[in-house]
Amino acid sequence: MNKWLYLILALVLVGCTTQGEKKEEVETLTTQPPIIPDILEETATESTVPVEIADIIPLEISDVTGIPSRRTIYFDYDHSNISAEARNILKEHANYLIEHPDAWLRLEGHTDERGSREYNLALAELRLYTSKEMLKILGVQEDQLMILPYGEERPSSLEHDEESWLLNRRVELVYP
Amino acid sequence: MRTLFFCLLTYLTLFNQSHAILTIDITGGTEGGGQPIAITPFTLETGLSPLFEDIAKIVSEDLYRTGRFAIMPKHTLPEQPLDSNQIQFSQWQAAGMPHLVVGRILSREGAYTVEFELFDVLKGKQMIGYRYPANTQNIRQIAHQISDQIYHTLTGERGVFSTRIVYVTVQRNDKKVQYHLYIADVDGANPRMMLESPEPIFSPTWSPDGQHIAYVTYQGDGRNKGMAIYIQEISTGQRKVVSAEQGMNAAPAWSPDGTRLALTLSKDGNSEIYILNLQDSALTRLTNNPAIDTEPEWSPDGKSLVFTSNRGGRPQIYRISSQGAKAQRLTFKGSYNARPRFSPNGEQLALLHNGGNGYQIAVLDLKSKQYKILTKTSLDESPCFAPNGSMILYTTGTSLSAVSIDGRVHQRLAEALGEVREPAWSPFFD
């Protein structure tokens, strides 16, 4: 009789614990969904330049993909001239594009918020035009360059002061 | 299922409204101005269930916002006549009211009927009276038509209360930006979403018959990402690309006869103005200059266009024949004149002007060459005329504003949840 009682008690206990475990399992599943790993992009691994000791310094201006890290050039108010600083940045990108003839670059043109929207779009377009011409002079093939004017539509700073306006008058060099 | 569908519809309607409703405030200039008028509450025939909309309130607000009327406050009305034969004109004369509006809502064979009458108080005579077949859906529309009739009778000018506006809203959540294109009644009611996009939408403009809008946005991705000009039919929402050239596709402007679209393209080097024939898609180049040429606008007679160019160093307005030939400079005052829009009679240009006090809205009289600066803010944009020429609607900062052509009355149209910009006022719909 005692044996039977123990057995039943044991079964009940097992039942309880398994039930409890199951319940816990369900809760765990609902609160913690499985972690889906990010898929590493092929280009990132493929174009990684093998690092030698002598390459450490260039790495400061390049990320692991080899694309120059300075990807924005700035302009004066209502102007589209390429400054010396901007030319240096464009030179880095020209070198990269010459070394990677399969790569292509999209130049996105922006202005500050002052003035009319459509005039600013045309001004952004003019900045793209001068940037593109400079890259071509520096040896980049025309078919490696796409342009997209945004005008005042996509400010990088939303404030309404000289500092923000300066940051917003720019061409961004985008490797999509 | 039907209930679910209804719930979904209600949800969508509420959702849309919570995202887009414009509120209008008079921000200055009406004090002491405007002719007095009394508008009594519209009486409801006994037994009729009350309507959602208050017609007298809508008419009062319409007339008040023009700045040309001083509406008698409701609590000071000497009487609320149930019928026109009950009006005691002496009471209204004593109250100093030259004009009085009375109206009523009746039921005829199961449908609503709205009647109104406008009285000359001194003569004790009806000036106009109309009856409208109504239902619960068209009460606002009828109220605006009543406002149009009163305004026309008392000012001699056509009212714009039944017209609409198109505008762009921008909502920023963290780094995500959503652009919407809306059409709403001119008082901000009945907003209807025409387009939603993560890409910028700009330069919306009405076709001369008010049935289509043209606008600019971006399409495609990767190497194919680019600008495109769309034409969208308002009634169906159907749209088509009319220009997607390499580089810039911008600044669409309909010819007054609706057969052509002036636009700015950079496919041949830099920004130039072209005319696209909408019937055979033929493209004609209008300008040829290494400087920026953009923002074309047709004169109301269709014979010429005005546009913005920096060919003289800074942005200024030029005029060119729609057949081509040499452009003539129109603006000489101020360092910046851009984005011209003709007044309906073709005698004035509304433009964006900088004469040293920031970017302001100005009106240039083409005969006298006089500028009139209408705003005091410094980051204004995108002016356009009301179809009767009485007001100019524009963007200031993150909201819209309207100013009467004499600069006296200012209104602000704001959207609670985001930025509103680039308004365009519809033509009259008949």
Low-confidence spans in chain A with pLDDT less than 70: 1-64
Q: Which chain B residues touch A102 with a CB distance below 8 Å?
A: none
> Chain A: nearest CA to B340, how far in angstroms?
10
Instruction: Label each residue of chain A as H, E or C.
Output: CHHHHHHHHHHHHHHHHHHHHHHHHHHHHHHCCCCCCCCCCHHHHHCCCCCCHHHHHHHCCECCCCCECCCEEECCCCCCCCCHHHHHHHHHHHHHHHHCCCCCEEEEEECCCCCCHHHHHHHHHHHHHHHHHHHHHCCCCHHHEEEEEEECCCCCCCCCCHHHHHHHCEEEEECC
- Cα B378 to its chain centre, rounded Å, is 22
Level-2 CATH architecture, domain A42-174: 2-Layer Sandwich (3.30)
- Look at the domain B32-75+92-162 and name its fold: Rossmann fold (3.40.50)
Q: What is d(CA B320, CA B330) in angstroms, rounded to the nearest whole number? A: 10
Q: Which of A106, A154, A160 sits opposite B200 (nearest CB)?
A: A154
Say which amino acid occupies B156: G
Please report the pLDDT score of residue B24 as a whole number: 75
Write out the residue limits of the CATH 3.40.50.10070 domain(s) in chain B. Answer: 32-75+92-162
Taking the domains of chain A in order of start, what are their residue ranges?
Answer: 1-36, 42-174
Residue A172 sits at the chain B interface (C-beta within 8 Å): no
Q: What is the ipTM of this complex?
A: 0.88
Please report the pLDDT score of residue B16 as a whole number: 45
| Mutate: best of A117, A120, A141, partner B, most B CBs <10 A | A117
pLDDT of residue B413 exceeding 50, the answer is: yes
Q: What is d(CA B375, CA B396) in angstroms, rounded to the nearest whole number? A: 9
pLDDT digits (tens, 9 = 90+) for B119-132: 999 999 999 999 99
| Mutate: best of A118, A158, A162, partner B, most B CBs <10 A | A118
Higher pLDDT, B407 or B371: B371
Write out the residue limits of the CATH 2.120.10.30 domain(s) in chain B. Answer: 165-425
Q: What is d(CA B284, CA B270) in angstroms, rounded to the nearest whole number? A: 16
Residues 129-168 of A with CB under 8 A from B: 129, 146-150, 153-154, 158, 160
How many percent of chain A have pLDDT more than 90? 57
Report the DSSP beta bridge partners of residue B293.
B309
Q: Which chain B residues touch A116 with a CB distance below 8 Å?
A: 295, 308, 315, 338-339, 352, 381-382
Q: What is d(CA B424, CA B350) in angstroms, rounded to the nearest whole number? A: 13
B60-69, B300-309, B336-345, range with the lowest pLDDT: B60-69
> Which distant-in-sequence residues (6+ apart) come within 8 Å of B189 by Cβ?
B21, B140
> Chain A: nearest CA to B383, how far in angstroms?
10
Please report the pLDDT score of residue B112 as a whole number: 86
Q: Is B165-425 assigned to CATH 1.20.120.1760?
A: no
Please report the pLDDT score of residue B272 as a whole number: 96
Please report the pLDDT score of residue A60 as a whole number: 43
- Which token pair is B365? 């009289």
pLDDT digits (tens, 9 = 90+) for B334-360: 999 999 999 999 999 999 999 999 999
